[in-house]
Structure 1
Amino acid sequence: MQDAIAGADTVVFAIWLDDMREMIPRVRPLLDGKVVIDPSNPIAFDETGRIVRSLPDGQSAGSVAAALLPGGAHYVKAFGTLAAEVLAANAKRTPQRAALFYATDDEIAAATVERLIRAAGFDAVKAGGLAAAGRIEAPGGDLHQFGFNGEVVDLDQARAAVGSAHP
């Protein structure tokens, strides 16, 4: 893993948030100067198996992950707004491409993730800076697939939703 991170320009931590909390400190020095993409959501399961938030209201997985990174890392929250099977089924959708949201305060991270989102067959829509990360996380985010009642949105719908007030 360390060799892979050392040789990469961009790192995607496609792991549970709790695992990320353990892993990032172990590889932190290797992340300096890298674009770090975080698709995590603050989810856990209660005793009945129901999905619940693993963080207090007002705190996002994005804020937790970003705080673990070295100052020179380029952080972006992306690729976590659609369930994996929905992501696969909607890549390169026609006639209107599906939209994927991202959140970052970093221009380098934004340019990188927009290129990757387009290459994956989606339109990229910035939800805002790191403070907007919670909007694209589940449960509770209004710009997450579940915030749209499972609907996958196109570019126009996504742009309209970003402009609307968070409930």
Structure 2
Amino acid sequence: MIFFKRVVCVQSWEAFSIMDFKNKTVAVIGLGNIGKTIARNLVKSGHSVILSARTLEHAQLLVKELGDLSSAEEVTQSIRDADIIVLAVWLKDIKEIIATNKELFVNKVVIDPSNPIKIDGSGNPQKIIGVNESSGEEIKRWLPASSKLIKALGTLAASLLSENAFSDPRNVLFYATSAQDVRLTAESLIQDIGYLPYYVGDITESIKLEVFGSLNGHVVNLDAANKLVKDSL
């Protein structure tokens, strides 16, 4: 498995190998379109996943599709068992999950693909927090201080995330984190769902990755990603 790290600003990447991610347990909580796509792509790359949804039966249905590399657990148990937790649910549900299980998030790596929106009667997204606020920064405040939060996997709609994975050359997925010690984890995860990881900065950059942000909604290769990031500064 080949992963990438940035070596000169946003200009270039060099390859390196890392196997540690394969030994990490990943839980995907929330099995809507985004959660299912993430789980399917991880399994496609040979990574095992724990699946959790509102009901165990819902998760078990996807296990039947994905096979032996997947298992179904209740939400609390999956948080307890996983090293890396993908919270692929609405922001209000993330808040509830963290509040109910806060002690279980101590020292965990948490992936946040959320967008702080609701859909209005015309089918258009509306932001549900302040115009200058991000769900990434909100979630960081809700989590224990020892949790390692990564903003990732939510810059593309589920259909785009599925259709444009594993391209040659790889398309880019942007991510942000203030926890420098988990950047390799973030990049390994993004590689395993079929994309080239692109670090844009600490968690305060989350707003750029969310709906209405300058880096949201773009299916781009590395050159185009470099331009987008430069233009967003």
Shorter-chain TM-score above 0.5: yes
Alignment of 1:1-167 (within 5 A): 1-94=75-168, 96-138=169-211, 140-145=212-217, 151-166=218-233
How far 1:30 sits from its partner (Å)? 0.5
How far 1:165 sits from its partner (Å)? 3.2
How far 1:43 sits from its partner (Å)? 1.0
How far 1:75 sits from its partner (Å)? 0.4
Range 41-50 or range 23-32, more displaced: 41-50
Secondary structure in structure 1 of the residue aligned to 2:200? strand
Ranked by relative contact order (alpha carbons within 8 Å, sequence separation 6 or more), the top structure is: 1
Q: Deviations over 1:99-147 (max 9, x none)?
A: 0000111113322110011111110001211111000000x101001xx
* Paired position in structure 2 for 1:148: none
Aligned length: 159
Q: Deviations over 1:48-87 (max 9, x none)?
A: 3321111111100111111100011000100000111111
User: What is the alpha-carbon distance in structure 2 between the residues aligned to residue 84 and residue 39 of structure 1?
Assistant: 11
User: What is the alpha-carbon distance in structure 1 between the residues aligned to residue 76 and residue 181 of structure 2?
Assistant: 23
Q: Work out whether residues 114 and 124 of structure 1, in 8 Å CA contact, stay in contact via their aligned partners in 2.
A: yes
Q: Percent identity?
A: 36
Which protein has the larger Cα radius of gyration, Structure 1 or Structure 2?
Answer: 2
Secondary structure in structure 2 of the residue aligned to 1:108? helix
How far 1:160 sits from its partner (Å)? 2.2
Q: CA RMSD in A?
A: 1.2
Q: Work out whether residues 127 and 136 of structure 1, in 8 Å CA contact, stay in contact via their aligned partners in 2.
A: no
Kindly report structure 1 stretches of 4+ aligned residues shifted beyond 3 Å.
none
User: What is the alpha-carbon distance in structure 2 between the residues aligned to residue 141 and residue 116 of structure 1?
Assistant: 22
User: What is the alpha-carbon distance in structure 1 between the residues aligned to residue 114 and residue 83 of structure 2?
Assistant: 20
User: What is the alpha-carbon distance in structure 2 between the residues aligned to residue 119 and residue 56 of structure 1?
Assistant: 33
Which structure's residues are more often strand, by fraction? Answer: 2
Q: Give the structure-2-normalised TM-score.
A: 0.66
Provide structure 1 residue ranges, at least 5 long, that are not aligned to the other structure. Answer: 146-150
What is the identity, as a one-letter code, of the residue corresponding to 1:16?
Answer: W
Secondary structure in structure 2 of the residue aligned to 1:164? helix
How far 1:3 sits from its partner (Å)? 1.6
